[in-house]
Structure 1
């Protein structure tokens, strides 16, 4: 599994949002650009935000073809017995991976989470090994670690506490949570099809539906119980709470084509984690915007043409294949560094419009993006006579150039 980490970025200038949490961070979802942070590198218990890693690994397993959404899972007695949110699974019952994933994502169900961890990892302890290995690959803080798939404390697990894992309780940083959310949304956006659901019955025969712990979901706009917390554009991602962790929340919302990821940890109350999240998101959406610094199909002044072999002409005009956008302060005119280069191997005609002939790197605020330079018109292969004459010209041109340089060096 190859994992491309988000680029290392610096937060915008220091701003005090007076958040009533122990740690917080706000990033833009497509670049990982940090817009705000507060105590973002202190390891803290994340409670059920740990389940984001479980979600990631389940979706990775499905993506790889090892498992399918339709696979049937027979939960263990541990999954049936585990305490906390959930209490949905009965002994001897069987469920699809998709149904269990929905229970984990919507209702933060601990029983469904354990069942999935054991299904994908064979045992939860082996699955936790996968979680910690992935955390290293994603670039988590070296002091961060997981002890289980749910985020429950060791004391909550009782006789099911992992004997082979020596750490006391799961600990990650706010930055870790934002990095994990960044990868989930970038590599597995399908998670939002679960996370955005306000309520759903686990079984059709159930009397009551599972209620999503994320009160800020836009889908709750007509729910009188949660209406005051609803945030337009909010469609994920994961809440968490234990006595040790306090109230935590990794949220994500999109407006005007810009998606933000927010993390708050150790808020003092269930409602407060949403109030503080709103402060974070408001700060991001009110003060930043996506700005195109190079438009799609644009010429680059330093490389308007790229050489080709065996064409009617020796060069072909090129333009950018896509636009290059960065998150900037509203009203800012970003100063960027641009570096264009042809491909290592020069292509031969015929060339078609859209063929990739080079790349351009654009850097802003320690963030670098790369887009392809593509041919803006067709280039036919030159006739044999044209190529012969060009070859003769280049041959004698090289000879005369060599003689001229030799004579120049004599005097």
Structure 2
């Protein structure tokens, strides 16, 4: 090899070495930007009170959720109880459809007797603890008269709760092919209920918030049905079960051949409740039960090892840059505005200074000059205060989008409308002030 060729070879080698030395750290940094690795088709971790997403992967893809769809059935049953439409001690006798489904023991079921009488509470416990499919259909019939009517309620409620990537085709979460040709009208045999991880977490959040008593049932590790059927809870992370995890007290498992290993968990420790969802979790073994608990443990460990709930701003807080709003026609010309409640949010330890307050005013209440019009009532909502993240960590936003964890901003005191005399004097004062200002400007012009 000539000296010239050798020099060229060395130059190319040096260039390649430099390129690889630059690319390799970038790849490592990219990988490091994802704080944990969850082996699931989709996963999400949320602080329950604020809806702050602590981790998420593929959170908006609509996927089969199997029996986790029963969380919507639970919501509608509890709503009907609270509204007085049904009662816990109300009884139900199975029809042919419910009876036949309840007899399929390879599905999760408590066998119902055709001449049996079961209370709503008994059916609810069978569904919430043991994921009993016949019991879920029975409850749908109690609430809506038929499962067909009930799935309309499920999808209507999904829209009301802001679930944007969800569709329910039955009350159980089973694949319709398992319903022996008796699937609800308007659905086909090859359909199944689907949700996104975000929607599942949002439904769980609302279920816990709106009907917190449901945790009492979800946390029962085992119970016996009235006719002697043993009902072990499929949530193996509850106290005393094989994957026991401190603080876990719910919520719902799910598994079918197409949905895979799914689990929506909730846990409360050190004053912080979190919700996690894994859809189609895997561990390489082909097992359909265990992977959901292994991957959920990673999420819960990540939450409790790294995050804390902090009060960033107290109740009655006033923003330094906008502590008041101008008021037209009022006895006072400004209205002080304050937060109605403390702003509390989950964050990584050491990140408190990375959050700044963000005020969003309700422009419908203001005139084109940005003024309130008197009279103004004390406690009148004028907007919301949220947060802007200024740190370097990956920010996943909130369950409801980039905004969330907000508190209402309200007026601090009443401002009555000024009487006609005051308004007239202000008008006269404004008129003469205009004349004076015009005169001043005119005189100044003589000396330019």
User: Which TM-score band applies after superposition, normalised by the shorter structure?
Assistant: 0.7 to 0.9
Aligned residue pairs total 380
Which residue matches 2:202?
A: 179
Equivalents in 1 of 2:233, 2:52: separation in Å?
28
- Go from structure 1 to structure 2 and tell me whether the alpha carbon gap of 1:244 and 1:391 turns closer, same or farther (over 3 Å shift): closer
Question: How far is the alpha carbon of 1:184 from its aligned partner?
Answer: 1.8
Equivalents in 2 of 1:322, 1:164: separation in Å?
46
Residue deviations 1:310-357 (CA, integer Å, cap 9, x gap): 76x7667554331112222221122324327696555659x8xx7447
- Counterparts of 1:49-68 in structure 2 under 5 Å? 49-68=68-87
Asked if 1:234 corresponds to 2:248, the answer is yes
TM-score (norm 1): 0.79
Residue deviations 1:71-111 (CA, integer Å, cap 9, x gap): 33232222122122222422122222222212211111111
Which residue matches 1:407?
A: 439
1:146 touches 1:169 (CA, 8 Å); kept in 2?
A: no
2:129 touches 2:218 (CA, 8 Å); kept in 1?
A: yes
Among candidates 223, 228, 233, match of residue 200 of structure 1 = 223
Q: Which has the larger radius of gyration?
A: 2
Which residue matches 2:132?
A: 109
1:347 touches 1:357 (CA, 8 Å); kept in 2?
A: no
- Go from structure 1 to structure 2 and tell me whether the alpha carbon gap of 1:132 and 1:310 turns closer, same or farther (over 3 Å shift): closer
Equivalents in 2 of 1:39, 1:297: separation in Å?
38
Question: How far is the alpha carbon of 1:381 from its aligned partner?
Answer: 8.6
Which residue matches 2:9?
A: none
Question: How far is the alpha carbon of 1:113 from its aligned partner?
Answer: 0.2
Asked if 1:210 corresponds to 2:224, the answer is no
Which residue matches 1:156?
A: 178
- Go from structure 1 to structure 2 and tell me whether the alpha carbon gap of 1:16 and 1:400 turns closer, same or farther (over 3 Å shift): closer
Equivalents in 2 of 1:100, 1:325: separation in Å?
38
Q: Which moves more between the two structures, 400-409 or 42-51?
A: 400-409
Asked if 1:334 corresponds to 2:370, the answer is no
Describe the SS at the equivalent of 1:394: helix
Equivalents in 1 of 2:39, 2:126: separation in Å?
30
TM-score (norm 2): 0.73
- Counterparts of 1:127-142 in structure 2 under 5 Å? 127-140=150-163
Which residue matches 1:252?
A: 266
Among candidates 246, 257, 260, match of residue 243 of structure 1 = 257
Equivalents in 1 of 2:63, 2:414: separation in Å?
59
Equivalents in 2 of 1:58, 1:141: separation in Å?
22
- Go from structure 1 to structure 2 and tell me whether the alpha carbon gap of 1:379 and 1:127 turns closer, same or farther (over 3 Å shift): closer
Which residue matches 1:96?
A: 119
1:328 touches 1:334 (CA, 8 Å); kept in 2?
A: no
Describe the SS at the equivalent of 2:290: helix
Equivalents in 2 of 1:48, 1:100: separation in Å?
15
Which residue matches 1:81?
A: 100
Equivalents in 2 of 1:395, 1:162: separation in Å?
70
Among candidates 370, 378, 381, match of residue 407 of structure 2 = 370
Equivalents in 1 of 2:302, 2:266: separation in Å?
14
Describe the SS at the equivalent of 1:160: coil
Equivalents in 2 of 1:46, 1:152: separation in Å?
9
Equivalents in 2 of 1:403, 1:132: separation in Å?
65
Equivalents in 2 of 1:14, 1:257: separation in Å?
28
Question: How far is the alpha carbon of 1:395 from its aligned partner?
Answer: 4.7
Describe the SS at the equivalent of 1:263: strand
2:330 touches 2:373 (CA, 8 Å); kept in 1?
A: no
Equivalents in 2 of 1:281, 1:29: separation in Å?
13
Q: Which moves more between the two structures, 313-322 or 39-48?
A: 313-322
1:25 touches 1:175 (CA, 8 Å); kept in 2?
A: yes
Return 5+ residue gaps in structure 2 as ranges. Answer: 1-31, 282-286, 367-371, 390-401
Question: How far is the alpha carbon of 1:279 from its aligned partner?
Answer: 0.5
Equivalents in 2 of 1:95, 1:231: separation in Å?
33
- Go from structure 1 to structure 2 and tell me whether the alpha carbon gap of 1:390 and 1:162 turns closer, same or farther (over 3 Å shift): closer
Return 5+ residue gaps in structure 1 as ranges. Answer: 1-12
Which residue matches 2:279?
A: 265
2:335 touches 2:411 (CA, 8 Å); kept in 1?
A: no
Q: RMSD between aligned alpha carbons?
A: 3.3
Describe the SS at the equivalent of 1:336: strand
